[in-house]
Structure 1
Amino acid sequence: MADLTVSDVRWQGLSGRMYASRGAGKARAEGEAAPAFVLVHGIGVSHRYLFRLHQLLAETTDTYSIDLPGFGGTPKPGRRLSVGDYADFILAALDQAGVTSCVLVGHSMGTQFAVEAAIRQPDRITELVLMGPVVDPRRRSVTRQALDLTTDCAFFESASSNLIVLTDYLRCGPRWYLTELPVMMAYPLEERIGDVGVPVLVLRGAKDPVASRDWCQVLAARAAAGDFREVPGRGHVVQHTGTTAVARAILDFAGRPGRTLEATA
């Protein structure tokens, strides 16, 4: 894959980080002007559980992963951030990197940020990928979310994915996690997705207890141009445990099928 470069992102007093793989992908080598891939993590975690997917997508075109303010060891903001704040930060990071066209890929709470960014700048976001989206209205309680996540970690994740998530939670810390948790719980993804004008892929691991099949199918149906796919045998952190299948689904959805990828999971 292309060399990974790291840069700080600062916007309106908020600080984050961007990880970029530029210029060595097959699409660039073949002279194609393919939109970049931009990966966005969920609550409490960082780019690290997206890294396997980043590696594979970077074989095809420029690929970026973002550590949002307060996560991944970045400075904690002095106030609670809204989903819109995170979306604006993502768009500012893309401005800083000179990304004018991209496929935006969000996981878990990152799907909320991705939807808001796509609503704000549909001309920049060519397609939207929502992996393990939250929060299902039928599970809109902290207790239910905690139970589903515990079930997922205990039965459907690998030791490496659990280690990454746990250590990132520790880096995030309980104060910031609990500050942002109500924001995640309150966001009406099932309503906001109807305002997205670009094609949307809703993707889940078939054993994911957090993002159920019914919920994901509802989201795909409410999108103006929605598609739904599953990765068999995988849980919530499907991009880490089923990386090759996820990358192939994203490439197919983005109109880049047939590329040879080195299998990682």
Structure 2
Amino acid sequence: MPGDTKGLLSADVPALGLTGRIHWTKGSPAPEPGAEPGSEPAYILIHGIGVSHRYLARLHAVLAASAPTYSLDLPGFGGTPKPGRQLSVEDYGAFIADTLASCGIDSYVLVGHSMGTQFAIEAALRAPEQVKQLVLMGPVVDSRHKNVWRQSLALTLDGILRESPTSNAIVMSDYFRCGPRWYLTELPVMMKYPTEKRLAGIQVPLLVLRGSRDQVAGPDWSLRLSRTVVQGRLVEIPGVGHVAQHMRPKAVADAIRSFVTATTPHR
């Protein structure tokens, strides 16, 4: 079925008074406090607003074939408990960094999608020694879409014109699980987050990745973000929209792995 993630192991993860969930494959080391550090950085996949790890599952499977890979369901999303207050992007970044530390994952590549790119930026700022590279897929909010109407229109057009029935089924069912109250609670947080300004504080290599037909993260915006960091790069996946990682998981994984290899210092 769309979004079937059988084969993934999962565990609830409490941090900072919040509860999320971490998912991993049988081939990746189980996340646990005091675990021996791995010989290579892990990939950490972070979803966007309203959704969950499920629309990242195909990318997760490809990356996990060659490196430890973990996906998160953040508090309030993916069936996790709803927090009692609005959470800022900084709150989510702190949750990610603290969760990974508590799970014994101390060296990683952060891979965020859509609003997950904002969460990834904040997690990278929170744990600069642990983050080796930062990957932003379909980053928001494009400077062309600085109000809710324009952002919603771009997302709707992308879903209708660019995405597959399976990706839409995953996203819509996750929106249903999230519910309108929490989605609308976090939407203004996403809209007001100064992505470009916060990204300027990042010191690790940066990959900005977008589908060439993405209505949400446009080419000019994505290029500008890639130039914010000294070691920044932009890659476009041909022929796909905002959820490129579901439509072309191998191409996205290949771009990420190539970038990580090229920007990892050789001893």
Normalised TM-score (structure 2)? 0.90
CA contact (8 A) 1:22 1:61 kept: no
Q: Which residue in 1 is equivalent to 2:214?
A: 208
Structure 1 segments of 4+ aligned residues over 2 angstroms from their partners: 21-25
For residue 10 of structure 1, give the secondary structure of its aligned residue in structure 2. strand
Q: Which residue in 2 is equivalent to 1:20?
A: 24
- Of 116-125 and 172-181, more deviation after overlay is shown by 116-125
Question: In structure 2, which of residues 135, 139, 164 is the aligned counterpart of residue 158 of structure 1?
Answer: 164
CA distance in 2, matches of 1:256, 1:192: 24
Determine if the alignment matches structure 1 residue 255 to structure 2 residue 261.
yes
CA distance in 1, matches of 2:119, 2:174: 19
CA distance in 1, matches of 2:28, 2:126: 30
Structural mapping, 1:59-208, within 5 Å:
59-208=65-214
For residue 175 of structure 2, give the secondary structure of its aligned residue in structure 1. helix
Amino acid at match of 1:152: D
Q: What stretches of structure 2 of length at least 5 have no aligned partner?
A: 1-5, 30-37
Q: Which residue in 2 is equivalent to 1:4?
A: 8
Change (3 A) 1:24 1:76: closer
Structure 1 residue 9, shift from structure 2 partner: 0.7
- What is the percentage of aligned positions where both structures have the same residue? 56
Structure 1 residue 4, shift from structure 2 partner: 2.6
CA distance in 1, matches of 2:100, 2:228: 27
CA distance in 2, matches of 1:33, 1:113: 26
Structure 1 residue 3, shift from structure 2 partner: 5.4
Determine if the alignment matches structure 1 residue 235 to structure 2 residue 235.
no
In the comparison of the two structures, how many residue pairs are matched? 250
CA distance in 2, matches of 1:80, 1:51: 27
Amino acid at match of 1:137: S
Q: Deviations over 1:70-104 (max 9, x none)?
A: 00000100000000100011112211221110000
Determine if the alignment matches structure 1 residue 48 to structure 2 residue 54.
yes
Structure 1 residue 224, shift from structure 2 partner: 2.5
- Of 201-210 and 7-16, more deviation after overlay is shown by 7-16
Structure 1 residue 23, shift from structure 2 partner: 4.1
CA contact (8 A) 2:208 2:235 kept: yes
Change (3 A) 1:98 1:22: farther
Q: Which residue in 2 is equivalent to 1:28?
A: none
CA contact (8 A) 1:128 1:199 kept: yes
Structure 1 residue 22, shift from structure 2 partner: 5.5
Q: What stretches of structure 1 of length at least 5 have no aligned partner?
A: 26-31, 258-265
CA distance in 2, matches of 1:197, 1:12: 26
The RMSD of aligned alpha carbons is 1.7
Structure 1 residue 256, shift from structure 2 partner: 7.4
CA distance in 2, matches of 1:23, 1:151: 38
